[in-house]
Homo-oligomer: A and B are copies of this chain.
Amino acid sequence: MELKEAQEKFISAWGAIGTHWGINRTMAQIHALLLISNNALSTEDIMSQLNISRGNVNMNVRELMSWGIVHKVLKFGERKEFFTAEKDIYKTAIQILKERRKRELIPILNLLGELQSENIQESGGEHFKKVVGDIHQFGESTNKMLEKMVKADEHWFTGSLMKFLVKK
């Protein structure tokens, strides 16, 4: 297999995974392209390699930067901006967990907390409160677990957590 073919397979698969996790295909493909690129790429590099428009690249690259997994790189003597992806996959994973915790878990925990503290007397209210309470508790546990993982250094995964989970 040629390098180019292998790269295309990888980019395509990464894009497909993204769609399964609520990430748009192009954003995931740009991430994949930057991961496998040795050097930082310009907007035009990305446009031509993925065959997409300037506006599309701009939007998705900025989204990737807002997730903290792609960074702007300025090269001496060059006016244009280049982009590079964090290459340490553990750091990337933790960064994504961190952001999803902030953007998704915390808000739902707040809602669940509010719903739980409502004074609902109607019939059926008990079952509702039980379900909400259970999910809230589960969410809080997940939240604590993520806090722990995110605070640890990037070696938590291969370190003691993995030893605990896999070997024991």
SS class, residues of chain A in contact with chain B:
helix
Q: Does the CB pair A13–B138 fall under 8 Å?
A: no
Q: In the complex this chain forms, how many copies of it are found?
A: 2
Q: Which of B1, B7, B13 contacts A111 (CB 8 A)?
A: B13
Q: Which of B6, B17, B132 contacts A128 (CB 8 A)?
A: B6
Measured CB to CB, the closest approach of chain B to A84, in angstroms, equals 12
Q: Which of B19, B21, B120, B165 contacts A145 (CB 8 A)?
A: B165
Q: How far apart are the CA atoms of A122 and B6 in the complex, in Å?
A: 11
Q: Does the CB pair B36–A127 fall under 8 Å?
A: yes
Q: Taking the complex as formed, is A59 at the interface, i.e. its CB lies under 8 A from any CB of chain B?
A: no
Q: Which of A74-122 contact B (CB under 8 A)?
A: 87-90, 93, 100, 104, 108, 111, 115, 118-120, 122
5 contacts between A and B (CB under 8 A): A13-B108, A19-B22, A22-B22, A87-B134, A148-B166
